[in-house]
A and B are shown apart, each in its own frame.
Chain A
Amino acid sequence: MELRMEKIRKKISAGADFVMDIPLLEVGKGEFFGLVGKSGCGKTTLLKIIAGLMTPDEGSIYLQEKEITGLAAEKRGIAMVFQQDRLFPYMNILENVAFGLKMKGLSKKERYQRSSVFLSAVGLSGFENRYPLELSGGQRQRIAIARALVTTPPLVLMDEPFSALDPNLRKEMRDLVLDLHREYGMTILFVTHDRDEAFYLFQRMAVMKEGKIIETGSPRKLYESPGKIHTAHFLGIENIFEGILHYDRFSTSHFSMKLRALSPEKKKGVLVIRPETIGLGTYPFPSDGEGNILEGQITGMNYSFGILHIKVNTSQSCSFDLTCTNQYKDLKEGDRVFLSFPAGELVFLPEEKE
C-alpha cells in the first residue's frame, strides 16, 4: 500500500462541529483515488492531515509502509495542488517550478533542466521567464501541477484543483492529469465535490459524509449498486423512495414493485432507481412477468448532449426522473406514458441505523 491511514480521529469545529473518524483508508501504488463528498464533509481536512498541514488527534499515517504521523509537512515529500494556484508571485515560472528541487538542495543546472521537462509536460515550454500574474488561470494551474510533480513525489494530493477554473478548461485539465498519471504512474489522491469529475478521473473513490468514509469503490460500482443512500444521492440519483420490503415486493404508499431482493420479514428501507434503467413507452407494455409498470404524465423535459431528461408524474402522484437517448422525438409535456422498471436494476437499501 502506498498510503495507509489507521484510526484517524480529529475534532473539527469550522461551521459545523463534528469528529473526523477514519478507521482505515488505503490507497494502492499508482492508483488514481478520489475523495468525494459535499463541501464541509471534511475531505480537505483529511487531505491536509495526509499532507502534514494539520495533525490528527489520534491515529497513524503510513506512506510506503513508513509511519509519517509526526513528521513535519516539509519532510514528507508529498506533493499537493490546491484550489488556488498558490504560485509565488515574485518568482518567475521557472523558479516557481524549481522551488521544490531547490529545497531538496539540487544544483541550479539540474533544477532548471528537470523543471523544463515538466514545463513541457504541461504544455508550457517557453514560459520560463514569465511571472504568474501574466498568465491565465488555467496556465497558472498547469504550472502549479508541474511544480507539484517535478520532485517525482510518491503521492500527489489534489484539492479541487480545477473548481476555480472556467468549465471549458476543466475537461482539458482533467485530460492533462490523466495523461500525466498514465505517463508517470504516481499515486494521486484527488478531492472533489463534482461527480462528473469523479466519474471521469477516478479508479476508486471514497464517499465522505461528516468526517466519515461511508463507502469505497469504483465510481461505476458505487453508481450501479450503491450501498448507502448518501452515495446514491451524491452520485445524482434522484429516484429514492422510502417503503417496506416484504418477501420480494417493495411497497410505498404510492406503488409497489417486484425486486430481486428477498426478505422473509417486513423490512424498512429505500428503493434506489437509476434514471437510465427506467423503460419508457407510449402504450401499455406487454407484461414482462414482473409487472413493474406504472402509468404517468410527462411534467418536464430537458435535452442535453443527446440525452433526454424526462420527469414523469405517475397517476399515484409520485414523480420519477428518467433519462433516455433521443429516440422519443415526438414526446412532449403532458403526454401520457408508461414506465417499466426491470427488477434486476432496482436496488434496495435497508434502513441505516444512525
Chain B
Amino acid sequence: MGKNKAVLLVLPALAAVGILFFGGIFHGLLQSVGLAPLTGDAVFTLGNYRSLLFSRDFWISLSITLRIALLSTSISAALALFGLYSLFLIRIRSTRDRSIYFQRCFQVSMLFPYIVAAYMIFLMFTQSGWIARIFFNLGIISEMHSFPIITNESFGWGIILAYVWKTSPFIIILLYPVVLRVEYGWIEAARILGAGNWRIFLEILLPMMKGPLETASFIVFAYTFGAFEVPFILGITYPKTLAVYSYQIYSSGNLADQPMAMALNMVILGVILLAGTIYYHTIRVYNGRSDRP
C-alpha cells in the first residue's frame, strides 16, 4: 500500500519534469535530425551534425565555452573553499558563532540576476571602469588604455568573473552546513592529537565536504557551460559561446536554420551528459570506501 501511494505521490512531479524537460530534449532532438520539420516531409538526416563537425567556428566556440566553464568552476570552487575555511576559523574563534553573518554577506550576489552580474562586471572592469579609475588614481596605470581589456574580449575573463561572483556564494551555501556540523568535540580531539586549524580543515572538514563540493561544482559547470545571459552581455561577436551561438541562430528569423540551433543544443546537452558520467564514475570509484555516515 505504502509503495503504491508513494508512486502516486511522485507522479505529478514526474509528469511535469517528463513533459517539460524530457519532452523539450526529445523534440529538440527530433528537430535536429530533420524528423519534425515545420513544412514538408520528415526525412532523417545527420546533416546538421555533419556541418557542425566540419565547422571551424563550432570547434572554436566549443573550446572557449569549455574553457570558460572549467575556469569559472575551478576558480569559484577554490574561492568558496577559501571562504569556507575562513568561516570555519570565525566559527571556532569564540564561543558565540558569528560565521552565519559573514555567510549572509556573501549571499548578496544571490539577490541579483545573471544579467546584472554581467553588467556589474562590465562597469567595474572595462577600460574606463571603476577598477581602472582606482588604478589610475593610485598611479598604477597612466592612461585608460593601459588597463588590460577584460570585458568583451576573446578569452572571456569578464564572463568568468561574473560567473565567479554569482556561483561561489552558491557553493558556499551548499557546503556551509558541513562547517556547522563539525562538532567542537572533534575539533578539540583533533587539536589534542596535534592538528592545527589548517590540518583540522584538511583532515576533517574537507573529507566531509567532498561529496557536496563535487555536486555543487558539477552544477556550476553545467550551468556555466550552457547559460546564455552572461556571455551575451560580456562576450564578443566572434567567437561566441555555444548557447549564444545557438540562440542567435534560432532567433535570427530564418526558420530553416532552426534545426542547426537544435543540433547545437544537443551538443551542449551531450557535453553536460558526458561531464555527468565522468563525475558519477569518479565519485563512485573515489567514495567506494569512504562514502559512510
Whether, in the assembled complex, B199 has its beta carbon less than 8 Å from a beta carbon of chain A, the answer is: yes
Contact status A99-B208, CB under 8 Å: no
Are A53 and B192 touching (Cβ within 8 A)? yes
Known: A80-B189, A86-B186. A103 touches B195 (CB 8 A): yes
In whole angstroms, what is the CA distance A72 to B183 when docked?
19
Q: Which residue of B lies closest to A129 (CB)?
A: B289
B194–A103 contact, CB under 8 A? yes
**By the criterion of a CB under 8 Å from any partner CB, how many residues of chain A are at the interface?**
28
Q: Is A124 an interface position by the 8 A CB rule?
A: no
Interface presence of A88 (CB below 8 A): yes
Most chain A C-beta atoms within 10 Å of own C-beta, residue among B190, B191, B194, B203 = B194
**Does A333 sit within 8 A of B, measured CB to CB?**
no
> Are A99 and B203 within 8 A (Cβ)?
yes
Cβ-defined partner of A133 (8 Å) among B188, B189, B293? B293
Partner of A78, one of B189, B192, B199, B204: B192
Bound complex: CA of A131 vs CA of B207, how far in Å? 15
Partner of A84 from the list B185, B190, B193, B194 (CB cut-off 8 Å) is B185
State the Cβ distance, A154 to closest chain B Cβ, in Å: 13
Known: A90-B292, A131-B292, A133-B293. A80 touches B192 (CB 8 A): yes
The answer on a CB contact under 8 Å between B192 and A51 is yes
Given A82-B185, A84-B185, A103-B199: A89 and B293 within 8 A (CB)? yes
Residue A63 CB within 8 A of the other chain: no
Task: Tell yes or no: A55 within 8 A of B by CB.
Answer: no
Which listed residue (A77, A86, A90) contacts B194, Cβ 8 A? A77
B196 CB → nearest A CB, Å = 5
- With A82-B185, A90-B208, A103-B199: A74-B290 Cβ-Cβ less than 8 Å: no
How many residues of B sit at the interface, in one of the four size bands? Answer: 20 to 34
Query: Is the CB of A171 closer than 8 A to any CB of chain B?
Result: no
Shortest Cβ distance from residue B94 to the other chain A in the assembled complex, whole angstroms = 13
**Alpha-carbon distance A78/B293, docked complex (angstroms):** 29
Whether A73 touches B192, Cβ cut-off 8 Å, given contacts A90-B290, A131-B292, is yes
B contact face: mostly helix, strand, loop, or mixed: helix
Residues of B within 8 A of A99 (CB): 190, 193, 195, 203
Residues of A within 8 A of B290 (CB): 90
A209 at interface (Cβ–Cβ under 8 A)?
Answer: no
* A10 adjacent to chain B (CB < 8 Å): no
Of listed B185, B186, B193, B293, residue having the most chain A CB within 10 A = B193
A189 CB → nearest B CB, Å: 13
The answer to whether B194 touches A88 (Cβ under 8 A) is no
Are the CB atoms of A100 and B185 closer together than 8 Å?
A: no
Residues in B whose Cβ lies below 8 Å from that of A84? 185
Interface residues of A in 105-140 (CB under 8 A from B): 131, 133
Contact with B along A84-96 (1 / 0, CB 8 A): 1010111100000
Most buried by A among B183, B186, B191, B208: B191
Closest A-chain residue to B204, C-beta based? A88
What residue of chain A has the Cβ atom nearest to residue B183's Cβ? A86
A142 within 8 A of partner (CB): no
- A147 lies within 8 A of chain B by Cβ: yes
Q: Is A141 an interface residue (CB 8 A)?
A: no
| Residues of B with C-beta under 8 A to A91 | 207
Do B188 and A151 touch (CB < 8 A)?
Answer: no
Contacting residues, chain B, for A89 (C-beta < 8 A) = 292-293
Residues 206-246 of B, flagged 1 when their CB comes within 8 A of A and 0 if not, give 01100000000000000000000000000000000000000
The answer on a CB contact under 8 Å between B188 and A82 is yes
**Interface members, chain B 110-151 (any A CB < 8 Å):** none
Chain A 16-56 interface mask (CB, 8 Å, partner B; 1/0)? 00000000000000000000000000000000000111000
Task: Report the 7 A-B pairs with minimum CB-CB distance, sorted nearest first.
Answer: A103-B194, A100-B193, A86-B189, A73-B191, A80-B192, A86-B185, A74-B194
- With contacts A90-B208, A151-B194 known, what are 14 further pairs, Cβ within 8 A? A52-B192, A73-B192, A74-B191, A74-B196, A74-B199, A80-B188, A82-B188, A88-B186, A88-B204, A91-B207, A99-B190, A103-B195, A131-B292, A147-B193
- In the complex, 17 of the A-B residue pairs with CB atoms within 8 angstroms, ordered by the A residue number, are A74-B195, A77-B194, A79-B192, A80-B188, A86-B185, A86-B189, A88-B186, A89-B292, A90-B208, A90-B290, A90-B292, A91-B207, A99-B190, A99-B195, A100-B194, A103-B195, A148-B192
Q: Which residues of B contact A (CB under 8 A)?
A: 183, 185-186, 188-196, 199, 203-204, 207-208, 290, 292-293
